[in-house]
Amino acid sequence: AFRVVGAWPSKFIGDVQTTSDAVVKYIQLVLNVVCQVAGILYLRENMDKLSFFELGHSYITVLMSLVSTSRIITHCTEAYQEIFSLYVRKIHLFNVRNDSEYAMEMHTKIHKLCYFLTFFIHAFMTLGILMFNLIPMYSNYINGKFNRETGAFSGVSNATMEHAVYYLWPFNDTTHPIGYAIIVAFNWYISLVCSINFCTFDLFLYHLVFHIWGHLKILIHNLKTFPRPIGAIRNEEQNDYTEEESKQIYERLKKLVQHHNLIIDFIARISDTFGLSLFVYLCYHQVCGCILLLECSTLELSALIRYGPLTAIIFQLLIQVSLVFELLGSMTESLMNAVYDLPWEYMEVRHRRTVHIMLRQSQVSLNTRALNMVDIGSRTMIAILKTSLSYFVMLR
């Protein structure tokens, strides 16, 4: 799916990079910008002609195009390619599965979780594409608009065709079968691209977060199982670490610090790389959630079939992405307690300094922020849902 939108960084992960891989993302970027401009022009041109709910539909598609464009821009950045490469080479738990039994256990759990989540999201994405594009075609059919004598293809001016997405094209002739077929095919394609930029982009973020969460669990486990001095275990009078034990402790602390630094650096990279697209995404949910509720509020069968699955998918994506990122923030206190519980009282001064530095670093929040302004988590999700419902009730 990433190859369709040019998001597969072949060069950075060692794959053979073809010409199509290098240019397709820029073609997608131009295509999305053109579609977004055409959608805005359609709204401006038909503002007085469309009903409130038809306007809502066009607003939704323009906003979805904006989110899709922001994500393609992210795909074009070198930071995205680097974080993808780092994920494959170091962050994926496949790379550390042989370090310990617990690491293998976490790798197996995260692998199964990612597998089922991938299946679930792709199923929802397929359902959304089908419902979004088939409903207008079915509506045209039952209203007799495919009839060459009385329908839109007959040339009757008031028998216009319904579409999944509306644009202002100079050649937008839907009263001709070929013109209608071209627009329908284009809408299917742009719906596929937009869905990939929505669902698969989110899925990649979930994979990043779950594997970082797995690393945090492994780090905390290693901290909790940190060996105590033999003298302390035997309740001997001399209970500090021996010289031989101190050498082993140094190597363990070194690995723990390196592991912790890797996690902190990668979380910072996620915020820097995806901050813009996540901020646009949150703004989209704030506006689009209200509009979708208004579209469904008519309780008409066609509206429920067309917008019901899309509404469920949009709210599910918001809840899903918020709860997934909440996993990282919830690990801050557990990590801090695990570092403090290290047997630092038995260590040499130089080792205590290392523990102290690690303890200070562990107090830094692990939350991911959009543009370093908004935390991605349950609080932001609840605020967006409350605001959307409030505006919906007011407009209703």
Give the residue among 324, 343, 215, 342 at the shortest CA–CA distance from 274: 324
Given the structure tokens 């209203």, which residue do they identify?
143
Q: What is the pTM of this model?
A: 0.85
User: One digit per residue, pLDDT tens: the chain, 396 residues?
Assistant: 666 665 666 665 555 556 666 677 788 888 888 888 888 888 888 888 877 777 878 888 888 888 888 888 888 888 888 888 899 889 999 988 988 899 999 999 999 999 998 888 888 888 878 888 888 888 777 877 766 665 555 554 445 777 888 888 776 556 667 777 888 888 888 888 888 888 888 888 899 999 999 999 999 999 998 888 876 666 665 667 788 888 888 888 999 999 999 999 999 899 888 888 888 888 888 888 888 887 777 777 767 776 777 778 788 888 888 888 888 888 888 899 999 888 888 888 888 888 888 888 888 888 888 887 788 888 888 888 888 888 777 766
- pLDDT for 104 equals 94
- pLDDT for 13 equals 59
- pLDDT for 304 equals 75
Asked if 344 and 351 touch (Cβ cutoff 8 Å), the reply is yes
10-21 burial string, b = 16+ CB within 10 Å, else e?
A: eebeeeeeeeeb
Cα–Cα distances in angstroms (integers) from residue 232 to residues 102, 241, 347, in the given order: 26, 9, 12
- pLDDT for 325 equals 87
- pLDDT for 136 equals 83
Alpha-carbon span 126 to 200, nearest angstrom: 12
Give the residue among 190, 220, 232, 214 at the shortest CA–CA distance from 93: 214
- pLDDT for 248 equals 87
Given the structure tokens 């035997």, which residue do they identify?
234
Give every CB contact of residue 339 below 8 A, 6+ residues apart in sequence: 223, 355, 358, 359, 362
- pLDDT for 109 equals 93
Asked if 110 and 211 touch (Cβ cutoff 8 Å), the reply is yes
